[in-house]
């Protein structure tokens, strides 16, 4: 009897000790939350001159194309709760009906919806196909045929791709400990810079123009639930509800001030590269600007500019940050604690920006907050 009690005691102690790391991770999330709140008090107003920053999400699925039980009402409510201005739907295709034509389109609940598809080629390559014949490479780490004609963009970051690298046991306990208090900040434990996708994008940029977007790949299909015979949920936990997915990564499109927010203006901004990827759960990146000037031109990210004697790049961020400027995929400048930087340009190349927030602590210091689109100096 004593031996059984001793074994039981050992098992209980082991279980308790196994939870110490997750309890500590919850403490780190509390500290991160406090640091983000403090950082928000340092925000400066400002925006890209002549443009309005509209925030939205790209790569969203409903029950139409399978892989999800998500309803239109859930998606609309989640977009409203997140203060989104637009959502790009990318339904999986079906052989018997056109999912793109049947999904959300136009204004719903004050949110603009744009209808599209996620399409798979015979070789396994996948594209996000949007109206106006815009084609965006999905899952670039797995993409093979980069010579495909008509490519307009690259999904440089995908939440699902990141999630596949997560240890499911660790994720389960992190959810138990932290989801109720910090549903989106749990993501900070697992966020990784998309090194391979950025490398492939930089390589492609040496040949052609391609707009970077971030993909939420939102399905709202991970969780455990108990339902009655009518399908009503009696008990359950949803690990990836739309409301949380839409907080993680967003696309900020820059639309000219004299243009309305509509399908045409959003798609035009995406095609032109007038947009940037923001990991908004770390803080609101609105106010970020990346532009170039010379004696006769003033351009923004996505544009081309001619190299002249007075050509300069300028980066502005809403809070002091670590600003990394890359030229042709290699680090060109790396400075911390600044929110305004001008750089003289003496060489042609493809210049883009990554922004980090090391003051938030070691948990996210090396994880990007903003990834810009390039300025092409010709």
> What is the pLDDT at residue 243?
94
Q: What is the pTM of this model?
A: 0.92
Q: What are phi and psi of 178, to 5 degrees?
A: -125, -10
151-171 burial: b if 16+ Cβ within 10 Å, else e: bbbbbbbbbbbbbeeeeeeeb
**238: β partners:** 223
What confidence tens digit (pLDDT) does each residue in 151-184 have? Answer: 999 999 999 999 888 888 888 889 889 988 999 9
Mean pLDDT of the chain: 91
- Give the mean pLDDT of 106-110: 98
What confidence tens digit (pLDDT) does each residue in 262-295 have? Answer: 999 999 999 999 999 999 999 999 999 999 999 8
C-alpha distance from residue 219 to each of 22, 72, 160, 250, 267 (Å): 26, 12, 10, 16, 23
344-371 burial: b if 16+ Cβ within 10 Å, else e: ebeeebbbbbbbbbebbeebbeebbbbb
Tokens of 233: 């949920």
- Give the mean pLDDT of 255-263: 96
Tokens of 38: 């403090």
Residue appearing with tokens 């759960």? 281
Dump strand ranges (E) for 182-270. Answer: 211-215, 223-227, 233-238, 250-256
> What is the pLDDT at residue 225?
39
Residue 262 carries which DSSP code?
A: S
Higher pLDDT, 166 or 33: 33
Residue appearing with tokens 């609101």? 284
For 34, other C-beta atoms within 10 Å of its C-beta total 12
What confidence tens digit (pLDDT) does each residue in 177-234 have? Answer: 998 899 999 999 999 999 999 999 999 999 999 999 999 999 885 544 344 455 554 4
Tokens of 55: 């925030």
Neighbour-count burial of 67, counting CB atoms closer than 10 A to its CB (0-12 exposed, 13-18 middle, 19+ buried): middle
**Antiparallel, parallel or unpaired: β 312-327 and 153-158:** unpaired
C-alpha distance from residue 351 to each of 121, 307, 321 (Å): 31, 12, 18
> What is the pLDDT at residue 270?
98
- Give the mean pLDDT of 74-102: 96
C-alpha distance from residue 192 to each of 27, 89, 111, 337 (Å): 20, 25, 30, 22
Task: Place 1 in a pLDDT band, splitting at 50, 70 and 90.
Answer: low
21: left (phi over 0), alpha (psi -120 to 50) or beta: alpha
């Amino acid at each position: 009897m004593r031996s059984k009690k001793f074994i039981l005691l050992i098992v209980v102690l082991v279980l308790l000790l196994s939870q110490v790391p997750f309890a500590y991770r919850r403490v780190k999330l509390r500290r991160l939350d406090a640091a983000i709140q403090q950082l928000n008090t340092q925000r400066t107003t400002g925006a890209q001159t002549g443009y309005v920053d509209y925030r939205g999400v790209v790569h969203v699925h409903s029950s139409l194309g399978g892989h999800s039980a998500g309803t239109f009402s859930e998606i609309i409510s989640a977009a409203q709760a997140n203060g989104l201005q637009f959502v790009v739907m990318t339904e999986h295709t079906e052989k018997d009906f056109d999912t793109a034509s049947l999904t959300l389109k136009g204004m719903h609940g004050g949110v603009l919806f744009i209808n599209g598809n996620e399409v798979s080629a015979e070789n396994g390559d996948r594209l996000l196909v949007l109206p106006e014949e815009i084609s965006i490479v999905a899952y670039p780490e797995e993409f093979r045929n980069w010579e495909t004609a008509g490519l307009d963009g690259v999904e440089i970051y995908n939440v699902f791709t990141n999630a596949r690298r997560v240890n499911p046991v660790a994720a389960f306990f992190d959810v138990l400990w932290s989801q109720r208090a910090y549903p989106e900040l749990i993501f900070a434990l697992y966020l990784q810079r998309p090194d391979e996708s950025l490398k492939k994008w930089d390589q492609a940029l040496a040949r052609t123009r391609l707009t970077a977007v971030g993909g939420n790949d939102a399905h709202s299909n991970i969780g455990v639930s108990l339902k009655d015979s009518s399908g009503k949920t009696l008990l359950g936990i949803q690990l990836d509800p739309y409301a949380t997915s839409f907080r993680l990564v967003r696309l900020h499109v820059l639309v000219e001030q004299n243009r309305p927010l509509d399908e045409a203006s959003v798609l035009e901004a995406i095609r032109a590269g007038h947009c940037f990827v923001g990991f908004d759960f770390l803080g609101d990146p609105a106010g970020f600007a990346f532009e170039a000037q010379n004696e006769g031109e003033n351009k923004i990210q996505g544009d081309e500019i001619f190299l002249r004697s007075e050509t300069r790049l300028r980066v502005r961020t809403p809070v002091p940050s670590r600003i990394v400027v890359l030229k042709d995929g290699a680090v060109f400048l790396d400075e911390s604690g600044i929110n305004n930087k001008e750089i003289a340009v003496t060489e042609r190349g493809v210049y883009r920006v990554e922004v980090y927030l090391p003051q938030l602590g070691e948990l996210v210091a090396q994880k990007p907050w903003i990834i810009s689109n390039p300025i092409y100096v010709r």
